[in-house]
Structures are given as C-alpha cells and as structure tokens.
Structure 1
C-alpha cells in the first residue's frame, strides 16, 4: 500500500487485499502495465536519463548529462510504478543496477551535482531539486519493500535517507528544498522500517517551511511555500504540485505525531482551495507561467494549467485526509480528479500524454512528432514525451497502485470509497464488487466470506447525487434512500448476501459560481462523476466549438456510446460580420433564433483529443447568456 499510517480513522487495504477485475479502471491499468511502463522506459533510455547514472560512474557526466536537473526523479517514479507492478519483469533490477554504483559512500546520489564540472551539492536548494529527487527515490524504495521485500532499490533509498538525516538534521543544514516531496517520503519510510529518525526529519522539514530560508526568486517565496509556516497558511498557494506534496507530508507528520492542530490547518487550507481555487474537473493550478494557483475564483478555462502532476498530488492528499478523518468529501474530490484529470492525461494507447489539462481549446493543434520530445505543456494534443516528463511517470505509478485507493477497514467493518469491479479480501472478510460505474450507477457487493458476528459495510454516496434519488438495497430486499455521504448496512452477513447501491447516473446541467468571471453565462454537463465537453469532431464540418450555444430549458439526454446530447446550435452567425468594434448595446429582447437548433453531442472530457486535432470546451455559452443581474457578490 502506498500509505500506511499507524493511526487514523481508517486503515487502508493493500494491493494484496484489493484487486480490480474489470471495467473502466481495469482497462486503463492493463494499458499502463502493457504499454505505458515500457514506453516510459524506452524514452528514458532514448533521452539518456538512465544513461546519466552510467555516465556519472564512468566519469563522463560533465559532458554527457542530459535532461533537467530533476531528471533523476522521473527514473525513480518509473521504478516505483514497476515495483507496484511486481518489478515489471527484470526492468526494475536492470535500472537499479545502473543507479547503484552512482551512489556515494555517504549515501549522496544525484547526477546533476557534486562531480567535476558541476555545482557543489546543496548549493542551490531553491532550484536544484536534490531533496526532491531523494523523495521519489525513497518512495520507490518503500514500494519495493511493501511489494516484494527489502531489495537493492530499497537499500539505496535507505542509504539516501540516512544521508539526508545526517546532513539536514539537528546541527546540520537548517533549510528546506525548493520542491517538497521529501516530507511524505520520509514519513512513509519511517512507517515501513520503524525508524523514528526518518519521521523526526520529516517533521523538521515541515516545521522549517515558511521560515524564509530559501531565496526570494522570480516568483517570490510563495512559489515554494516558504512565505508562511504551514500552520499559518489559510489556502494552498504558489506552485500547485509543490503545495499539494507539502500538504501531503504535513498530514503524514500530523497523523504520526498526533498533531491535531497541524492536521486541522491542512484541512482548512483544503476546504478553502476546493471552494475557491479548483476547476470543475478537480484540476488545480490556473497559472502557466509559474504553474501555480491563481487568486480566489480566478479559474479561466482556456488558460487552465491543471497540471497532471497536480491532479496526482491532489489524489495523494485527499487519500491521506480520508484515512485521517474518515470523511467522504475527501473521496469525492479524489474520484472527480481521478476520472477527469488523471484519466485524461494518457491517450487510449497509453503512449502519449497531456501535461496540462485545459478546459477550452480554441485552436486545432498539430500532432506532435512521435520521435521527439515536446516542450513542457506546449503540445495541443497528447505528446509521447516532454522535455520535462514528470507527468507520464506520475500517471504510471498512480495507475499501478490504484487498487489501494478503493477500500479501507476499521474495527467495525469495510468501507468502499471508489467503485470498480473488484475482489476484496482482508481478515475473515471477502467481497466481490460488480458495477458498470462510471457509465452506470448500480454497484452490487456480494459477501463471499464473513465472520459470524455483526459488522458494517459502508458505501460512499457521492456528493454529486445531491437532490437525486440514490437508494440502498439490503440483503433482505428492503430499500431506503441514501443521502450523500455514507450508506451503511450492519448485520451478521452470510456468504451470498448482496447489497446494492443505485446511484442516479444521468446527465445534468452544472452552473458556475457567479464570482468566476471567466465562465459567467455558461453551463457545463456532468454525468455521474464524469465531466463532459463539446469537441469539434462532433460538429458539422468546418465548425469549431466556440460557435456552440446550448438551451438550458431542456435537460441533457443520454446519447449513444456514452455520449450526451443537449439542445443547442452551432451556427456562426457572426462569421462574416464586418463590424469594426466587437462590442454593441445589449438588447434583452434580441436573441438568437430557435430556428436551426439541433442536438449537440458531448463526450466525456477524459476522452477528448483521441480522434485527431480538434477544438474543445467544457463550459458552454447559453442562448440567453447575459451578465448575472441578481447576485454579483
């Protein structure tokens, strides 16, 4: 399991206790295991990021090193994914054999610093990413420990962690890394090994953050969350991935040390960020220039950065908060982010990826070359590789460990948080889950083995069911309404007993908060946990999505093959306009004619850009778009 807290409301179940057997996530995990991991491995050999370790050992690194200063970290993330997949043949061992000789006797390991012709170690904590690289190395080592035992990769990780404690512990360098992730990694290593010094060092790093030990650079100290101590912050700010990794580490430290005040501080920041700085998809980060959160309600869809790695980090944080508190709202955000950010990044073949996840593409892009990497976040279609390829490997490790996010246990029973065809076996309990989620809303849980005393089965009822008729059917056939939150059945279960949760998966209109200026006068369509979008390949030839107008007076309807159909039109009445000024007096009595309206086909957002170059938008203008006259707040 990726996260194994020693305390908390819920106990996670590991990959040996939960197996995804079919459906949406099984297909994506199969593609990840059979295509994405090999694809990432091949590219890392091609661009010589793995070769950096060989060059370091051979003394050629000064002239031969390739990739950014943090390229080592992506090799480590690939190793973590391989560890969760059982080593992926011999690939994990082969890469580890290339890395091991590059580690110094004192545990230091980095191909960008410390050798002839390079900067001295820890001379650039703002941008050097040395501790960040250790964080991903340690997470890969923990994955090996938990998935297969204490192998060579785990030993390398432990030596690196010992070096970090000796160098940055009491009396050492009293600073932090510009990019957090060492914090949750050290806590998880402490959990996996029982070594207290790793937890103590993680707590030191969390407490030092915000003490202004890092230089005030181009984007300010807020960029790497060194402007305020973690406990004093009120919202996530700065670089989105950094902020979310730091928050994950803070939750881990809070849980292991019993620091309720620190945990409460992170919860408050999460609440404010979800309420004011998060996209409909669950994406986080609206600034391209600094990959950062914007101000409250600054969520432009066409400039959404919504980095895939921020989606992964958000799921990591939501999972930790769920385990600590038991509150279903954290699983709700994880679900939204998994389906609409994480699942959106990889192409259907698992060999191309989105780095950023815009909610509005105004121009048709060009297909990126298959044999060259793309500039970071510049590809208008999914690219096979990037000059900064943190996202492909982050998706790979997330899909590899995804079963561990499905269910938990406590002293009272089992809790299901994410829905997929699955088999769950822990202790004296064994369950089989069958569902066509997210396309359908029926979730059936069959009890295959159970103790002879009462226990509780809990099923999350997503918040998106609010105002609808979700229902729970008990083994005796009785039915009752299931409100958003958690539905439970407590009894003595017998093998063969079935519990069914029926969720109202049907299309619905979603309106934005009027304080989000960029999407006033628009609506989006959701169906179950999926966000939908209009894509130009479904419009009449030559039309782009910016001409679409929808009619919210009629409800969206299910279409064929998982699509949704809404009333509207895609006629560009102003295409030939010769008006010299794009603004005109508003006349409420004048509006587009209903003539020519037709069904507009929408597709799941996660599937867009799989059919060639296209334009796309999630937020759709309505026929009666006008400034909100009742509540500007």
Structure 2
C-alpha cells in the first residue's frame, strides 16, 4: 500500500473504478451547500464545543490524567467518540478554510486527549482506571473499539489535510491502533465491538500510513462478525449484525447505523484485498435495503426500540426513526460502492440522503438538531429546554443537545468534508456526481491540469453549466450524472447541439478548449410520487418531490388548520410551482367521533365545505424551523 496520500478526502481506496477528488481539488463556492457549510463553520462547531465542555465530555480526558474517573466522569460510555468526531470536523474545516482560530482550538483539544493516553497506547475514559470496569470487559455495549475508530478517523482527516502537522494526533492514533492489533490480533482476544466502526477506520489508517497490519486487523474484525461472538441481547444478535457472517447476509438489518458502518468497513476491506465475493455481498445488501427498507427521504430505520431496520416494506411514516447518523452511514457506504463500481445509482442515493436527511437535522441557525427524522408529526411539538440535553432521541422539535449526541458531530464532520463527495477521476477523465456551484482542479501524474467551473442554482433550478477552464492537446472524457428522478425531459447541450438523455451517466469525450461548455438541463417540475403497494402504511397516499428534494405539508402554512391529517390532496391536479413554492390542491375533511372505531360498511368522511386550493408545501429539510407544527410527507388522497 502507498504512504500518505496527497488527496484530502475521507475515503482513499488504492484501487477501484473511480478515484475521489478531495478538498484541495473541489471547491464549493455558493448555493445550497455553501450556505450550510458556512453555518456549520460559523455556528455549529462552536455550539458543539460549548456542549462538549459544558457536559464534561472533554474534561473526562483531564480527569483521566489524574487517574480516577469513577466518581466524576460525565456522559455515556461512548462520549469520547463525540470529542473525536468534533476533532475530525475541525480537521476537515481547517483543511477547507485554513481558519487559524479553529487550528488553535483543534490543538488545544488534541493536547488534552493525548495526555490521557496510557503508555501501551490504550485510550478511553470509561474503562480501565481505578473504580472502573476493566478494559474490554463489555464488548457488547462498551463501545471501546468504536471510540478508537473515531479517534483514527480524526487523525486520518488531520494527516490528509495537514500532512506532517506537529500536533501529535496521528501518533496518538497509531499507538491506539497498535494496541488494538496487539489485543485483538490472531493471538489475542477473539472478539469484536458491539458497534461496528473501527473496521473502516483501520482501513483508512492503513491507507494513510502504509501499514498493512491495520488492514489485516480490519479484515479480521469483518470475518469475525456473524458467528455469535457477542452475547445475545433482547433485540437479538441481529442488532449487532452478529447473527450472520457478512458474506452470507442478504440485506442490511439490525441497528441501522451499525449496519451501514459495518458494510462500509467490509467494502473497504473487499476493495483493498481484491475480495470480489465480499464486495458482491455488500452490494447485494445495499441493493435490497434500498429497494425494500429505505424511506422516500433516503432515511433508514423504522424501529424505535432498537434504532433498527424493520422488515421488508415496513416503512411507517409516523414511526420513522430514520436516525441522522444512519443517513451519514448510508452516504459513507454508497460513496464507497460508487468508487468501487462507478454506478450512478449510488450517487442518486447520496443526493437523496444529503438533501433530505443530513440537511434536515440541523436547524437554520445550526444550533439545534434532529436525532431522528420522522415523516409524519401528528401533534404539535414542544420546544425543548435550551439549557438541558434532551432525554428523547425522537424529540418533537430540534434540540440543542442530547444525552446521546452522536448526530450533531456526525453532521458537522460530513458538512465540513462535503466537497470530497462531489467529483472523481479515472484514467480517461473527470466525473461529476453532485451538482453545486464550484470549481474542480485536478492535476494528472504527468503534470497536466483539468479545470472546471460549475454554475448552477441546483436544487432550485435544473440547469447545470460546466465550463472547461484548462487547455489540453489530448482528448479526455467529462461525465455527468443524470439522476434517476430525471426519467423524462433531461437534455445535454454540447457545442451548440442538444439531445435528450436518460438516467445514468452521460459522457462527452473530446479535445476540450478553455471556454467550452456542457449544459445539463434537468426537469424540475414538481411531481407526485406513489409508494410501492406493499408498503401498507402509506397505501392510498402520495408524496411530492421536486428534483431531489422531498416536500412536506406543514400546518403553519395552512391558516386555521392545526392537524394536517384533515387535508386530502387532489391528485387529478398536478402540483405546481407558484412564486418559488410548490403547491397542491387540497380540501379539508373531518370525521365524527364514535364509541367504536370500526364499521361494517365504509363511511365517507364528512367534508368541511371549504376548498383549499394551492396549499403550499415546504422542503422537508426545512420543516420545523418556524415553531411547533404538524407535518406529513405522505399525503392522503381524496379516494
């Protein structure tokens, strides 16, 4: 394997169909995602650090240096990981902007973390000290390896954005990883972590350092999974994905975050070891989960009790758990499969999940977050206490912090590194997978440059204008993704000629000159989306989408209506774009209460004599920014 890679990106496989372009090569300059990156950098990172300090999760490392945490340690067993994800977010943001203030904050936290590391490399504030349980004594729930994994990912982010930095984080991570290899290697503990995560982290550390021991350990963890090494729990071993070997499983199952993280790590191992069988197993699991266990928003996980995937077609909107972290994990997995195979369907899911799950979690000001992402709110929510962590993951409104606050840090690191999920290269050219205003600058091994400028107001507008800014005396290929939702009406214009294109990838290969343009026009008319009839919970309902954005009906947009469940959409009239907002035609119904909710004959709803034409919808990612409301994505029809 190669040594430290120059590309600043979270995933850098040494082989595969496509090669990712990193933060130094792709710049997001304006628009939807630039705004969210700005809020993330200017508000969310400071907000996260405030709560990490206030709740004592960073101070735990200071207490660890004193040697006794038994009475004073704060937070859950996995709170160390939130400090590491915060460091990773800072590393990507520093790599993106070079912000000197963030650099100072980064180094200050690293010093406190590093001081708590044991001489043999072990690093955790929850286990192993006076008054605490021994190391590795609770592999099911202790999250020790999980926390190490996030430490490694923070160090990889730092090494790739600031190669050779003298803060010491990479050395801390290597010592921790060495301890893991010594403890859990072939001659060590024959165990694994109840929460997968370290697998993909070890592979990225191997890719960064060139040390194949870390890859071998990741492969060992993947192969150990599914053989009952973890104790059975009330949710079953499926919860940990320890019920079936990775190679034998047919679909993502169990805890949705764990499932995605494990599959991501398995995909990394498969790519590096050229294990076609393992990669095929992961691909099939992804395909079946997307086809049968994924919400229209891209969200995953329909069971609250174990934060897990439900069975096939079990996708109730009002019980959607759809954890934000599962959305992040889904992006991680789909990106790895895209790099390995190059198929546009992976980028389609990334687009859907980014616009409708990841961007839905943070509030407009970046200082509160959804942990779960329901598709139907039946009752008005209540404002959470701004001075206390929320006890409930399924809070009715975004909360500033949670007792389990994995989602704010996960969103922060994803937004800070987002430019690394936009474009790729191969031996023949460049590929654009996500559309946003920005630039791409890629230098080939022989010194030639390929530079692009992208102008678009996507997702508000469907025109994507790509201009060539470099000169080259040799032909090369420029590939653009045509999303699956653009089944009809998409066109591409090159050199004055326009032709229709369908979902997939459109490629133009020629000798490009500065000023040459390719214009992709995507159909942006709002549309009704109908569910598979096997999804019982939404039979007889429709959703509305425009481009990649799922829309919702929110009660604050309908005067005199508190419950949007009283509205019925008229599907004989297509949704329209009116003054920048999508509208649908609805009417209001009310049912009489009775002593028994069942009848021998169907009885129609009693209609309120009122027609609500042109009811406006809101982008799902923007709902709940205007106070308590009721909301639904799947709208009842008039039938």
Task: Identify the TM-score tier after normalising by the shorter chain.
Answer: over 0.9
State whether residues 240 and 258 of structure 2, in contact with CA within 8 Å, keep that contact through their aligned partners in structure 1.
Answer: yes
Which residue of structure 1 lines up, in the alignment, with residue 531 of structure 2? 512
Deviation of 1:302 (Å): 0.2
Which residue of structure 2 lines up, in the alignment, with residue 582 of structure 1? 597
Cα deviation, 1:447-483, whole Å, max 9, x if unaligned, reads 00132111010000000011x1100000x10111111
Correspondences of 1:72-151 after superposition (within 5 Å): 72-86=80-94, 88-150=102-164, 151=167
State whether residues 471 and 501 of structure 1, in contact with CA within 8 Å, keep that contact through their aligned partners in structure 2.
Answer: yes
Work out whether 1:461 is the aligned partner of 2:478: no
Work out whether 1:314 is the aligned partner of 2:330: yes
Change (3 A) 1:26 1:589: closer
Correspondences of 1:27-38 after superposition (within 5 Å): 27-38=35-46
Deviation of 1:583 (Å): 2.8
Paired residue secondary structure (1:488): strand
Which residue of structure 1 lines up, in the alignment, with residue 366 of structure 2? 350
Work out whether 1:472 is the aligned partner of 2:488: no
1:598 to 602, 613, 629: 613
Distance 1:376 1:142 in 2: 32
Distance 2:546 2:552 in 1: 11
Distance 2:619 2:62 in 1: 44
Where does the alignment leave 5 or more consecutive residues of structure 2 unmatched?
1-8, 444-448
1:208 to 224, 240, 258: 224
State whether residues 432 and 480 of structure 2, in contact with CA within 8 Å, keep that contact through their aligned partners in structure 1.
Answer: yes
Which residue of structure 1 lines up, in the alignment, with residue 627 of structure 2? 612
State whether residues 229 and 242 of structure 2, in contact with CA within 8 Å, keep that contact through their aligned partners in structure 1.
Answer: yes
Change (3 A) 1:596 1:210: same
Distance 2:486 2:86 in 1: 37
State whether residues 590 and 605 of structure 2, in contact with CA within 8 Å, keep that contact through their aligned partners in structure 1.
Answer: no
Which residue of structure 1 lines up, in the alignment, with residue 586 of structure 2? 568
State which drifts further: 582-591 or 172-181.
Answer: 582-591
State whether residues 67 and 387 of structure 1, in contact with CA within 8 Å, keep that contact through their aligned partners in structure 2.
Answer: yes
1:556 to 571, 575, 582: 575
Correspondences of 1:390-405 after superposition (within 5 Å): 390-405=406-421
2:74 to 66, 71, 80: 66
Distance 2:459 2:214 in 1: 40
Work out whether 1:532 is the aligned partner of 2:547: no
Distance 1:139 1:283 in 2: 24
Distance 2:394 2:484 in 1: 34
Correspondences of 1:159-174 after superposition (within 5 Å): 159-174=175-190
Deviation of 1:376 (Å): 3.7
2:63 to 55, 67, 72: 55
Distance 2:465 2:600 in 1: 56
Correspondences of 1:484-495 after superposition (within 5 Å): 484-495=503-514
Distance 2:37 2:260 in 1: 24
Distance 2:605 2:554 in 1: 28
Deviation of 1:240 (Å): 0.4
Deviation of 1:586 (Å): 4.5
State whether residues 589 and 608 of structure 2, in contact with CA within 8 Å, keep that contact through their aligned partners in structure 1.
Answer: no
Distance 1:199 1:496 in 2: 44
Distance 2:42 2:594 in 1: 55
Correspondences of 1:416-495 after superposition (within 5 Å): 416-427=432-443, 428-466=449-487, 468-474=488-494, 476-495=495-514
Deviation of 1:77 (Å): 0.2
Which residue of structure 2 lines up, in the alignment, with residue 2 of structure 1? 10
1:157 to 173, 193, 204: 173
Cα deviation, 1:388-433, whole Å, max 9, x if unaligned, reads 0000000000000000000000011000000000110001101000
Work out whether 1:621 is the aligned partner of 2:636: yes
State whether residues 69 and 128 of structure 1, in contact with CA within 8 Å, keep that contact through their aligned partners in structure 2.
Answer: yes
Deviation of 1:103 (Å): 0.4
State whether residues 239 and 291 of structure 1, in contact with CA within 8 Å, keep that contact through their aligned partners in structure 2.
Answer: yes
Paired residue secondary structure (2:280): helix
State whether residues 78 and 142 of structure 2, in contact with CA within 8 Å, keep that contact through their aligned partners in structure 1.
Answer: yes
Distance 1:33 1:578 in 2: 51
Deviation of 1:314 (Å): 0.1
Distance 1:149 1:590 in 2: 66
Deviation of 1:152 (Å): 1.0
Deviation of 1:542 (Å): 4.2
Distance 2:564 2:222 in 1: 45
Which residue of structure 1 lines up, in the alignment, with residue 49 of structure 2? 41
Correspondences of 1:289-328 after superposition (within 5 Å): 289-328=305-344
State whether residues 462 and 485 of structure 1, in contact with CA within 8 Å, keep that contact through their aligned partners in structure 2.
Answer: yes
Deviation of 1:369 (Å): 1.5
State whether residues 317 and 376 of structure 2, in contact with CA within 8 Å, keep that contact through their aligned partners in structure 1.
Answer: yes
Distance 1:356 1:620 in 2: 20
Distance 1:603 1:530 in 2: 10
Cα deviation, 1:354-401, whole Å, max 9, x if unaligned, reads 000000001111111211110141321000000000000000000000
Paired residue secondary structure (2:196): coil
Deviation of 1:595 (Å): 5.7
Deviation of 1:58 (Å): 1.7
What's the TM-score once normalised by structure 1's chain length? 0.96
Cα deviation, 1:523-572, whole Å, max 9, x if unaligned, reads 000000000000000112243111110010110001234x2100111x34
What's the TM-score once normalised by structure 2's chain length? 0.95
State whether residues 591 and 623 of structure 1, in contact with CA within 8 Å, keep that contact through their aligned partners in structure 2.
Answer: no
Deviation of 1:59 (Å): 2.8
Paired residue secondary structure (1:63): coil
Distance 1:539 1:550 in 2: 13
Distance 2:299 2:17 in 1: 27
Cα deviation, 1:248-291, whole Å, max 9, x if unaligned, reads 00000000000001000001011110011000000000011000
